[in-house]
DNA sequence: ACTGTTTACGGAGACCGTAAGTATC
DNA sequence: GATACTTACGGTCTCCGTAAACAGT
């Protein structure tokens, strides 16, 4: 078993196509086909059903492990390249809803100590944070999501990443002013089970959200846009309470049940560094050396 | 980066010698040297200091990651081979001090349901359990060790293994009858800081044990032998209280501080199976299919 | 018929072993 | 000077690309 073959399998499973995987990996279809065939020969069982391309149970399992393995390879690469860099640079990924004020404050404190440091902040979705950290595309990610209280987001590969909780805020449902439930002091999500739903896709992690989709689908993570859509009656949205309060034509009703919060976390590569507890600390450590 | 190179580096780091690594891997020294050189070229920095052979910081880090990666590769291999086996066999590794009675009872219950199942039990040390599980050399391991209460042994690679606590028993220090502390109702380990120590090496995990070694070193895990040595005044030993009670010429004094227990756990590959809570359940699940 | 995967085949190159070179104890 | 790692070099075999065969939509 070699990494090249695992990469091939994982890519095919993810993309659902030999051709697409080959394109992504910079091989010909033929090569990818041979790599997968070699893997199947080695493990002695079929890993993919063809036409349509779909993993067998064994193939799915192997692809999952392969993903973890390749993620770790990315991580160690970026760790090693970091080791020889001088490090007068710090790159931060930040989700738009994730404590921009706290980040700004922390950066000011950091820059006071180290004026020569060059800092890059980039807005991203929480989904790509893990991969961007692993490949070394960024140093620190500030992500957010909806989860149960005290429950970390991103259960991805413990040991590779260090995730530290920053804040947890209550949730509210944004409703149009004329919605029948708009006057209530609180509500349970089950009351909205059949309502047209229009969450920020980046926020809605694995937490069980109502399955019903709005006729208007929103893609992106701009809160203002979503609130305007809600005000116009296209659907309802689940948002951190402080944010959803500020909008005209929209009423924010706190969510009582299930117990969910809007949680923000700092995510960094664990590396061999000491554990991190605050945002400033995370930034400072990743900005080594002096 | 390919797995072959990672294997080479990890083996060299572990064995501290190119020659030994080559022997272990079935290559010539030259080949191993070239593999490591290729890795160093690829990451652009030295990974090993030669003569003496010792990893650089980067090399050590890479070797650690490589170990995790190769462990996962072993795991997925054994998972896949298990998938096509009929499974009329169950192999259990058990540490001698780890609830042999409970294991026997659980096996009896299992065999009542499935008389045709062939069961192999093998006595091992806790140290090799992880590797034997990963390579598929065994299906279930019942291990023991000394740890803080409610604290799992073996922090190895979460996500790959499922560890379930079975029992926790108080600890006692086995002392010769004529020892000055033999009459006490309890004692703290710090009182024995300078005493000649002779623990079961398999038991003494990372928990900070007194560094002082007895003049008589014992290797193995036979309790009777150790107790005889203690009775003869060659040293003292830390053992689960129920065990150390039964011996002539030896007094068992409970340990009050630090809070430590003798803990036993079931260890299996996590695979895609549901989590396990009892020993019988673990055995039954690993013995699939009917 | 066309899109997409497999198989056949050939060449370039990776990779390992032998053996000579070199440094350290 | 001996041991142990590195470098040089050549043969083999892997591995990928081209191209033809093949299957499913």
> Looking at the partner chain, which of B2, B80, B81 has a beta carbon nearest the beta carbon of A3?
B2
> Looking at the partner chain, which of B43, B68, B79 has a beta carbon nearest the beta carbon of A80?
B43
Q: Using CA coordinates, name the residue in chain A closest to B158.
A: A158
Average pLDDT score, chain B: 83
Query: How far in angstroms lies nucleotide C16's C1' from the CA of residue A10?
Result: 29
pLDDT in tens, B107-130: 888 888 888 888 888 888 777 888
Q: What is the model's pLDDT at position A206?
A: 46
Strand C proximal to B1 Cβ, under 7 A:
no
Q: Is the peptide bond before B64 cis (omega within 30 degrees of 0)?
A: no
A:B CB pairs within 8 Å:
77
Contact at CB, A77 and B1, closer than 8 angstroms: yes
Q: Using CA coordinates, name the residue in chain B closest to A74.
A: B1
Residues 193-212, chain B, touching A (beta carbon < 8 A):
none
Summarize the confidence of residues B218-245 as an average pLDDT: 76
Residue A215 has pLDDT above 70, yes or no: no
How does residue B36 score in pLDDT terms, banded at 50, 70 and 90? very high
Q: Using CA coordinates, name the residue in chain A closest to B5.
A: A2
Average pLDDT score, chain A: 83
Dist CA A289 CA B3 (whole Å): 31
What is the model's pTM? 0.85
Residues 6+ apart with CB under 8 A from A29: A18, A19, A22
- B158 touches A: beta carbon within 8 Å: yes
pLDDT in tens, B139-185: 999 888 888 888 888 767 777 888 888 888 888 888 888 888 888 88
**% of chain A surpassing 90 pLDDT:** 27
Pairing of strands A118-123, B261-269: unpaired
- A288 touches B: beta carbon within 8 Å: no
Q: What is the DSSP string of A56-122?
A: -HHHHHHHHHHHHHHHHHHHHHHHHHHHHS---EEEEEE-TTS-HHHHHHHHHHHHHH-TT-EEEEE
> Looking at the partner chain, which of B57, B65, B83 has a beta carbon nearest the beta carbon of A72?
B65
pLDDT in tens, B51-99: 889 999 999 999 999 999 999 999 999 989 888 877 678 888 888 777 7
Contact by Cβ (8 Å): B64, A86: no
> Looking at the partner chain, which of B1, B58, B80 has a beta carbon nearest the beta carbon of A73?
B1
Strand D proximal to B54 Cβ, under 7 A:
no
Among A123-127, A239-243, B191-195, the least confident range: B191-195
- B289 touches A: beta carbon within 8 Å: no
**% of chain B surpassing 70 pLDDT:** 87
How does residue A33 score in pLDDT terms, banded at 50, 70 and 90? very high
Residue B207 has pLDDT above 70, yes or no: no
Q: Single out the residue of A113, A81, A124 nearest to residue A221, CA to CA.
A: A124
Dist CA B231 CA B246 (whole Å): 12
Nucleotides of C under 7 A from a protein CB: 4-8, 15-20, 23-25
pLDDT in tens, A159-169: 788 888 888 88
Strand, helix or coil for residue A46: coil
Helix/strand/coil percentages in chain A, nearest 5: 40, 25, 40
Nucleotides of D under 7 A from a protein CB: 4-8, 15-20, 23-25
What is the helix (H) or strand (E) element at residue A264, kind and residue range? strand A261-269
Query: How far in angstroms lies nucleotide C25's C1' from the CA of residue B29?
Result: 19
Neighboring chain A residues of B45 at a CB cutoff of 8 Å: 80, 83-84
Cα-Cα-Cα-Cα dihedral sign, residues A227, A229, A231, A233: negative
B5: left (phi over 0), alpha (psi -120 to 50) or beta: alpha
Q: Distances from the Cα of B32 to the Cαs of B7, B45, B130, in angstroms?
A: 10, 17, 26
Strand D proximal to A30 Cβ, under 7 A:
yes
Query: How far in angstroms lies nucleotide D3's C1' from the CA of residue B32?
Result: 17
Q: Single out the residue of B131, B132, B148 nearest to residue B206, CA to CA.
A: B148
Neighboring chain B residues of A158 at a CB cutoff of 8 Å: 158-159
Phi/psi of residue A159, nearest 5 degrees: 100, -30
Q: Where are the alpha helices (DSSP H) in B85-125?
A: 100-113
Comparison of pLDDT for B206 and B283, the residue scoring more: B283
- A87: burial class by Cβ within 10 Å (0-12, 13-18, 19+)? middle
Dist CA B288 CA B104 (whole Å): 19
Nearest CA-CA distance, residue A41 and chain B, Å: 13
Contact by Cβ (8 Å): A101, A264: no
Among A175-184, A198-207, B186-195, the least confident range: A198-207
Q: Which nucleotide in the DNA or RNA is closest to residue A5, CA to C1'?
A: D15
């Amino acid at each position: 078993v070699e990494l090249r073959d695992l990469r091939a399998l994982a890519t095919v499973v993810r993309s659902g196509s030999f051709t697409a995987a080959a394109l992504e990996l910079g091989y010909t279809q033929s090569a990818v086909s041979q790599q997968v065939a070699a893997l199947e020969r080695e493990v002695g069982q079929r890993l993919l059903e063809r036409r349509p391309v779909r993993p067998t149970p064994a193939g799915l399992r192997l692809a999952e492990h392969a993903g973890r393995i390749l993620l770790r390879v990315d991580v160690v690469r970026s760790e090693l390249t970091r080791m020889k860099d001088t490090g007068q640079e710090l790159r931060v990924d930040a989700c738009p809803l994730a404590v921009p004020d706290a980040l700004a404050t922390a950066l000011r404190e950091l820059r006071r100590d180290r004026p020569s440091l060059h800092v890059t902040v980039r807005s991203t979705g929480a989904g790509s944070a893990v991969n961007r950290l692993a490949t070394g595309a960024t140093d620190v990610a500030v992500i957010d999501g909806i989860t149960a209280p005290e429950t970390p987001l991103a259960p991805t590969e413990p040991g590779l990443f260090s995730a530290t909780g920053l804040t947890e805020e209550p949730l509210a449902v944004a409703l149009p002013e004329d919605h029948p439930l708009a006057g209530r002091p609180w509500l349970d999500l089950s009351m909205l089970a059949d309502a047209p739903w229009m969450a920020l896709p980046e926020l809605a992690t694995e937490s069980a959200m109502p399955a019903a989709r709005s006729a208007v689908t929103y893609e992106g993570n701009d809160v203002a846009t979503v609130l305007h859509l809600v005000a116009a009656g296209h659907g309802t949205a689940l948002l951190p309470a402080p944010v959803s309060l500020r909008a005209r034509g929209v009423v924010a009703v706190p969510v009582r049940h299930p117990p969910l919060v809007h949680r923000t976390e700092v995510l960094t590569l664990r590396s061999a560094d000491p554990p991190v507890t605050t945002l400033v600390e995370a930034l400072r450590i990743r900005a080594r050396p002096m």
